[in-house]
Homo-oligomer: A and B are copies of this chain.
Amino acid sequence: MINQEFKAMLQGKSVIRELSEYATARGQEIGYENVFDYSLGNPSVPCPEGFTQSVIDIYKEMDPMDIHGYSPSLGNTKAREYLAGELRERFNIPYETKHIFMTSGAASSLAHAFRLVTKPGDEIIGFAPFFPEYIPYIKATGAKFTIIPANTADFQIKFDEFEKALNPNVQAILINSPNNPSGVVYSEETLRKLASILEAKQKEYNHEIFIISDEPYREIAFDGKKTPYPSHYYDNTISCYSYSKGMSLPGERIGYMAFNPKCVDADINAIICGQISRGIGHNCPSATQQLAITRTGFKLADLSVYETNANIIYNELVDLGFEVVKPQGTFYIFPKALEESSIDFCNKAKEYDLLLVPGDTFGCPGYFRMAYCIDTEKVKRSMPVLRKFVEECYR
């Protein structure tokens, strides 16, 4: 018999996906150039040219048997060696090959991380606003997901609420900086305070508490700043990376986990992840993609458009009187809606073909997300529409 629990999930359609489907349908009516679709977080810049050339070179030069064979269960050894070296150099942390586990992107990194450090019934704490897929990701592991309400002043952490929520059942803290949907980067101060609380609690509870750091937006930081790297502040950190955003390869499903060399069981965590893979149908990312990222080295897509768009939208929102925290990275901004219900607010905007996602989806009602991974020209054209919407509906 078909599993009724999964079947029932068909009723709970993703708000983001529904909006995106509406955008496509509306685009067929009025021309997609006239739909100001801020719904989806799909990169809008091509991957680096060096990546494309790497794949062509691999297919022209290498023996197909050497390209397409099974990867070892922890991933292509050369890719893991290369990544340990890249991260060693960039972050000055002594990663070795054994600390790297290749994954099929962020979803796969997280699927392994949750299972590695929790068992069914354990608790994971996260912070609003958060990527909504965390809920089904964690639910399937049998762990409980506790969400700390948003600190809407600056979208750092509400430490008082966090400390209240901590209890011996908590085995992991899930963070995401730069953050989807707020665009905010956790400051060094935030990471230091988080680390110090967790260190004390580890002693008190007499077990480890891991930070699972979801870092697909790590390289998209504005104002020439670098994202503080969580593993610098706390030993029991698992960095979960994906090439989807920084290199614009979301469809390729390639990423990795990097275990802090000082974390508990650092020498064997990647090997345990290889065992976890067996139960969830994972068997390494595409061999081609592992070779390609190794050959390409550390190159990024031209990410500057995201900062350009962020500035245009932020300035306009401020000018229109919105309460909004300036994004420090990603391609999202998360302003406060102009009425209590952000669902009503977004529905009204939809009448102007402005597609905004209500904050409820991200555990933060009353706010809304704009994903500005779209052409700057379109962003510019949408600003008068935003102004018109605000003036007609809220003045």
Measured CB to CB, the residues of A under 8 A from B are: 1-7, 9-10, 42-44, 46-47, 51-52, 55-56, 59-60, 63-65, 67-71, 103-105, 107-112, 115-119, 133, 136-137, 139-141, 171, 207-208, 244, 248-254, 264-265, 268-269, 271-272, 275-276, 278-289
Q: Which residues of B contact A71 (CB under 8 A)?
A: 251
Q: Which residues of B contact A137 (CB under 8 A)?
A: 278-279, 281
Interface contact B68-A136, CB-CB below 8 Å: no
Interface contact A117-B3, CB-CB below 8 Å: yes
Q: Which residues of B contact A278 (CB under 8 A)?
A: 9, 107, 133, 136-137, 140
Interface contact B46-A116, CB-CB below 8 Å: no
The answer to whether A207 and B1 touch (CB under 8 A), given A46-B65, A52-B64, is yes
Q: Which residues of B contact A111 (CB under 8 A)?
A: 279-281
Give chain B nearest CB distance to A271 CB in angstroms: 6
**Residue on B with the closest CB to A71?**
B251
The answer to whether A252 and B3 touch (CB under 8 A), given A108-B281, A140-B278, A279-B139, is no
Interface contact B6-A140, CB-CB below 8 Å: no
**Residue on B with the closest CB to A278?**
B136
Q: Which residues of B contact A118 (CB under 8 A)?
A: 3
Interface contact B59-A9, CB-CB below 8 Å: no
In the complex, what distance in Å separates the CA atom of A272 from the CA atom of B287? 28
Interface contact B6-A275, CB-CB below 8 Å: yes
The answer to whether A3 and B281 touch (CB under 8 A), given A56-B59, A251-B68, A251-B286, is no
Among B1, B7, B264, point to the contact of A268 (Cβ < 8 A): B7
Among B52, B64, B65, point to the contact of A59 (Cβ < 8 A): B52
In the complex, what distance in Å separates the CA atom of A133 from the CA atom of B277? 11
Give chain B nearest CB distance to A261 CB in angstroms: 15
Give chain B nearest CB distance to A219 CB in angstroms: 16
Interface contact B64-A2, CB-CB below 8 Å: no
In the complex, what distance in Å separates the CA atom of A47 from the CA atom of B66? 11
Among B119, B139, B249, point to the contact of A68 (Cβ < 8 A): B249
- New contact pairs (17) apart from A2-B265, A56-B60, A137-B278, CB-CB < 8 Å: A1-B117, A2-B117, A4-B119, A7-B265, A9-B275, A10-B275, A44-B65, A46-B65, A55-B59, A103-B281, A107-B281, A107-B283, A108-B281, A111-B281, A253-B285, A282-B282, A286-B288
